[in-house]
Structure 1
Amino acid sequence: MAEPDEFRTIRRRLTEKLGAAVDNKSRARLLSLRAVVSRILGELDDALADGRLALTYAEATGELRRTAVAQARLAHVLRWRGEFVEADRLFAEANSTELPERLRAVLHEHAGRSCYDQGRLMEACHHFERALDLRGTEDPELQARIRLSLDAVAERVAETGFGPYPRTREEVLESDRPPAPARDGDLWGFAGPDGDMVIAAEYAEAQPFRDGLAWVRRPETERWSLVDRTGATVLEPSYPVVRSFSDGLAWVSDGGDAGWVAIDATGEVVVPHGFADVRPFRRGVAVVRRDGWGAVDRNGRIVVPTRHHGFVTVLADGRYVDGFTEEGLAVVDVAGRRGVVNRAGKVLVPPTHPALVIHPVAFLVGDGTGRWGALDRRGEPLIEPVHRDRDEVVAEIERLLVDTSPVL
C-alpha cells in the first residue's frame, strides 16, 4: 500500500487533469478515481462528493459500463461511511446482466462485503458464491479473496449465527411490489403480496400493473379501462386492444392493420403514426414496424428508419433482447446481414456481417464460414475473424481489458 503522501500526490494530479477535462467521459473517470483516493485516505466527505458528481457525469454518457463503475465506486464510499442501505442499492443497480462477467463478479464480491459488515452473512455468502460462478475458474486472485472472505464469514457465524434471511433484489432496491392479478370465481381482481384481495374481483380480464397502472376489461364491454393501484378508474373503456405501460406510454389499437398508437396515462395520443407492430418503450425509444422495422421516440419522431427486416439483438451470453439493450444498442437485419444502431439512430456498424453479437465492450462478428472476430464500439476492427467460436473471441477480449479491478 502506498503512503498517504503518495496518495495525496495522485489526488493532486487527478485534480490538475480535471481542470482540463471537458467531456463527460473524462470527468466521470477522473472524479470517480479521485473519490477512490479520498476514500483510501479516509476523507470520506470528499470521496462522497466526488463519487456523486462522477455518477452524474457517467450517467450523462449513456454508457452502461461507465455508469456501473461509477455506481460501484460511490457504493464503496457509502459502505465505508456505514450508509449501507444506499450502498447496497447502488451495488444492485450497477450489476446489470449486460456487463462483462469480470465486472459483475467484482460487484458481487463488494456487495458481499457490504452484507458481511451488516451481519447479513447468509446474503454475503450468496454474493460470494455468485462471484465465483461468474469468474471463479478463470480468476485465481478472485478465488483467493473470496476464500479469505468466506473464512471471515465462518468465524463470525460461529460467534453470532448467519443473521437475517437474505433479501430479494426487489427488497434491496426498495421496490414496492404492486398488486398482482388474481382470480376470484369467474372474475379477476388484484391481490397484495399476502394474497388478500386489494382491488375487488369485478373484471373479465386484468393485466399486470406497469408504471403504477393496469388495464382491465369489464364483463359488459370488449374495451379496456385503465385503473391505478387503488382501483380507481383513470381511463374509461377506450380501446379493444392494449399493451402495458412502459416509460409512461402504452400502445393501443382500435384493431386492423397499422392501427397502433401510443397514449399517455391521461389517454392523450402521443405517437399518432399508426404502426403495424410495436414493442414497449424502453428509455424513451420503441421498436416499431411499418413497411419495415425501425424505432420511434416518445415525441413520435422516427429515430431509426423503418426499412430494416428485423431487430435481432443477441448478447454475448446468448440472451435475446427485444429491441435495444440497456445502453441503447440494437442489432438490425437487412437481407440477412447484421449491423448495429443506437437509440439515437446512429449507425455504429453497417449491416454487412453474416452474424453479429453485442459484447459488453465490443461487437462479436462472424464471417459466415464459422470464423469469429470482434469490432470495437466504434465499429473498427479489434480482433481478426480467425477464431473458431465466440468463446475464443471473448477470451481474447478479456486479455485486452486493462482494468482488472475497476471498482478499486
Structure 2
Amino acid sequence: MSAPPTHSAPAPAAQPASAPPAQISVPSAPAEAAADAPVSAPPAQVSAPPAPPEPVSAPPAQVTGPPAPDEAVSAPPAQVSAPPAPPEPVSAPPTQVTGPPAPDEPATDEAVPAPPVSGPPEPREPVPAAPPAQITGPPAPDEPTADEPVSAPPAQVSAPPAPPEPVSAPPVQVSGPPASEGTAEVEPRKDRPADPEQALAAIRWRLHPEKLREEAPDPEALREIRDGLTTKLDSALDNRTRARLLSLRSVAARILNDLDDALDDARLALTYAEATGELRRTTLARARLAEVLRWRGDHAEADRLFAEANSPELPDRLRAALHEHAGRSCFDQGRLTEACLHFERALDLRQGEDAELNARTAVALDAVAVRAAADGFGPKPRTREAILGEERYPVPTFDEERELWGYADAEGELVIDHRYAEVQPFHEGVAWVRRPEASRWALINTTGAALIEANNGYRGVAAFSEGLAWVSMDGKSRWMAIDPTNIVRIPPGYEDARPFRGGLAAVRQNGGWGAVDQDGQLVVPTRFHGMATALADGRYVDGFTEEGLAVVEMAGHRGVVDRTGRILVDPAYPVLVVHPVAFLVRDGSGRWGALDRRGEPLIDPVHPSRAAVVAEIEKLLADTSPVL
C-alpha cells in the first residue's frame, strides 16, 4: 500500500510511521527520559538552529562570606504583599576574579556566584523580627541566584533568585571505620565559622563503610549548628530563605538521627521551594527530603524524589551528587546492579575530576562487593518510568504483510490490532491514529477505543502535552488547541505551534514567533523570527527550559527571554547556548564569551572555542559539592 501524503503538524513528538520501524530493544538499565519521535510527519522547524553545541558542565561555586539574616519557621507563613526592593547592581567581573568575597553571601550548594572584582557590596540592613509571612507572588529579589558565577544577583525567570545554600567544602572522610567522638578529627570550636550555614558546610563528614550513611565527628557541635539554623529561621520572611534553612536543618536533624523532626522540616522546605519556581532550589529540597526518607526506610518515595530531581538542565556536579545518593538508596534495598549504574553515572558526569567523589565511590563499591558476595546483586534495574510509577503505554508495531500499524505492550503482546495506515506514540494515555480509508486523524485510548472520531476533520495533529494538543483542519494553518474531550481551549489562528512545556507553547502568527499560555493569552509577543533553545548538553527544546528561559532569534541574531516575556539578552549574537549557570555566546568574529543570568558580561568574547569559555567558568566556581 502506498503511504499517504505527510501532513504538517506542530512539533509532534514522533515521526509518522508509514514504513516498518527499526527493531527496538528495551534497555534494562534506567535511562534519562527522551521525547518520543512522532509517527506522523514532522512539522517545520521553528527556525534553523545553529549546529548543536557540545555538552558542557558547570560546577557550582563556593562563596565564603556569611549568609544574610533569615527568619524562623513556626508555621507556614502568610503572603507578603510587597517584596523588598532589589539590591544595587554590581559591575560584572572580568574573566579572572581577584576581589574579596562579598560579606553578606553564604556558602552554597547551588553553585554560588563568584565575588565581584570591584569589591564587596554594601551590607544589607538587618531585618526586624516580625511574624513570618507567606509569599504567593514572586519572591523578593534581594538574594543571588544559585549556581551563577556572577558578581551581582542575576535577574530570574519567574522570581528573583535568592541567596544560595551552603556547600560542603572539606572532603568527606571515607577510609576506615567510624571514629569515636572527641577524636583529633573534631575541629577546634574556635576555628568553626560563627554562621551555622557555613559551619554545616565545613563539617568533615564520615561515611560509614557498611551503611553508606554520613556521620558527624562532633554531634554536640552539630546540635549547636541546628540551633543556629533555628535562630536564623526566626527572622526569615521569604520562601527561598525558609526553603534553604529548613532543608539544611533537616540535614542536621537527620544525621543526629532525629528523623521525625528531619521529615517535618524537609517536607515543609519542599513546599516553600516549589513556591519559588526555581529549579535548583526545588531540586535540593527534593534531594534532602529523599535522604530523610531513605534513612527512615521509605525507599519507594525516596527513589521517586531522586528521579524527579535529576533534570538534565542541572549542573553536572549536582546531577552527579543526585546519582550518588540515589545509588545509596538502591544499595539499602539490595538493588546492587542499579546502585552500580548510579555510581557509574556520577563518575561519568564528573569525568574523574572529583577526587572526593572518587573516594566515596570506592567505599560504596567495596560495600557493594561485600553484600553481593553474600546475597547476589539483587533484582533487575528499573526504568525511570517504573521508579516514577508512570504507566507503560503500548508502543507502535508494524505488520509487514498487511502493511498496517497496531500497538503492543512492553512484552511484545499485541494489544491493539494492526488496522491503521499511520499512528503516533501514546502520550498522556492517548494517541492519534489514521485508518487506510480515511484522510483525517482519530484519537484513541490505550484500549483502542475512539475518543475523537476521524469525522471531526483534523488533517494535522500533534501529540498531547500538559493536557492539550494542537490540531488543524487543513494540516497547514489555523492551528488550535483542544483537550482530550475535543473541547477547543485555544481558538484557531496560528500558522504553526509547538507542544506545551512548563505551561507555555511557542506559536507563530503573522510570520513571527512568540508564546502563549494554556488559556491562550499571549505571553511573548509574536515578533521573533525563531524560538529554538539550544542547551549546553547538545539538546534543543521548542520554547522554554525548565527554568523558564527561551532563546529567540531576530535576523540571524539570538537573545533570551523569560517566561514573562521579559528580554534578558537582546538578540545580538549569532550563537547563544543556555549553560546551567550562564549564557555562552559567540560573536560575529567567531570568538566565544559568556554572560551571566542577568545578561551582563561575565567573560569577554576573546576565546577561540566554547570549551575555553567553559574552562574559564570553572575557574570562577569553587570546587564544592552540595550538602545533601
TM tier, shorter chain?
Answer: over 0.9
Q: Deviations over 1:284-311 (max 9, x none)?
A: 1111111211111111111111111112
Q: Is the partner of 1:153 in helix, strand or coil?
A: helix
Measure how far apart 1:178 and its partner are: 0.7
Q: How does 1:189-228 map to 2 (within 5 A)?
A: 189-228=406-445
Tell me which amino acid in the other structure corresponds to 2:543: G
Match of 1:251 among 470, 484, 503: 470
Match of 2:586 among 359, 363, 366: 366
Measure how far apart 1:257 and its partner are: 4.9
After superposition, the Cα gap between the structure-2 partners of 1:257 and 1:214, relative to the gap in structure 1 and judged at 3 Å, is closer
2:357 is matched with which residue? 142
Tell me which amino acid in the other structure corresponds to 2:411: D
Match of 1:84 among 288, 299, 318: 299
2:251 is matched with which residue? 36
Q: Identity percentage over the alignment?
A: 66
Structure possessing the higher radius of gyration over alpha carbons: 2
Does 2:290 match 1:70? no
* Structure showing the higher strand proportion among its residues: 1
1:235 is matched with which residue? 452
* Separation of aligned partners in 1, 2:288 and 2:609: 34
Determine which structure has greater relative contact order: mean sequence separation of CA pairs < 8 Å that are 6+ residues apart, divided by chain length: 2
Q: Is the partner of 1:344 in helix, strand or coil?
A: coil
Does 2:577 match 1:357? yes
2:539 is matched with which residue? 319
Tell me which amino acid in the other structure corresponds to 1:303: V
Q: Is the partner of 1:137 in helix, strand or coil?
A: coil
Match of 1:302 among 522, 528, 553: 522
Q: Check the 8 A contact 1:213/1:229 in 2, yes or no.
A: yes
Measure how far apart 1:138 and its partner are: 1.5
1:187 is matched with which residue? 404
Match of 1:390 among 599, 606, 610: 610
Match of 1:268 among 487, 508, 518: 487
1:4 is matched with which residue? 219
* Structure showing the higher helix proportion among its residues: 1
Q: Deviations over 1:103-151 (max 9, x none)?
A: 1111111111111111111111111111111114221111111112112
Does 2:563 match 1:346? no
* Separation of aligned partners in 1, 2:408 and 2:532: 37
TM-score when normalising by structure 2: 0.62
Unaligned runs of 5+ residues in structure 2 are: 1-215
Does 2:598 match 1:378? yes
Match of 1:128 among 343, 354, 357: 343
Q: Check the 8 A contact 2:460/2:475 in 1, yes or no.
A: no
Q: How does 1:18-29 map to 2 (within 5 A)?
A: 18-29=233-244
- Greater mean deviation of Cα atoms: 275-284 or 257-266: 257-266
* Separation of aligned partners in 2, 1:381 and 1:57: 32
Q: How does 1:95-114 map to 2 (within 5 A)?
A: 95-114=310-329
* Separation of aligned partners in 2, 1:257 and 1:241: 7
- Greater mean deviation of Cα atoms: 323-332 or 368-377: 368-377
Tell me which amino acid in the other structure corresponds to 1:227: I
2:308 is matched with which residue? 93
After superposition, the Cα gap between the structure-2 partners of 1:380 and 1:22, relative to the gap in structure 1 and judged at 3 Å, is farther
Q: Is the partner of 1:247 in helix, strand or coil?
A: coil
Alignment root-mean-square deviation, CA: 1.9
* Separation of aligned partners in 2, 1:157 and 1:256: 57
Q: Deviations over 1:23-53 (max 9, x none)?
A: 2222221111111111111111111122122
Query: How many residues align structurally?
Result: 408
* Separation of aligned partners in 1, 2:615 and 2:406: 50
* Separation of aligned partners in 1, 2:275 and 2:545: 17
Measure how far apart 1:2 and its partner are: 5.1
Unaligned runs of 5+ residues in structure 1 are: none
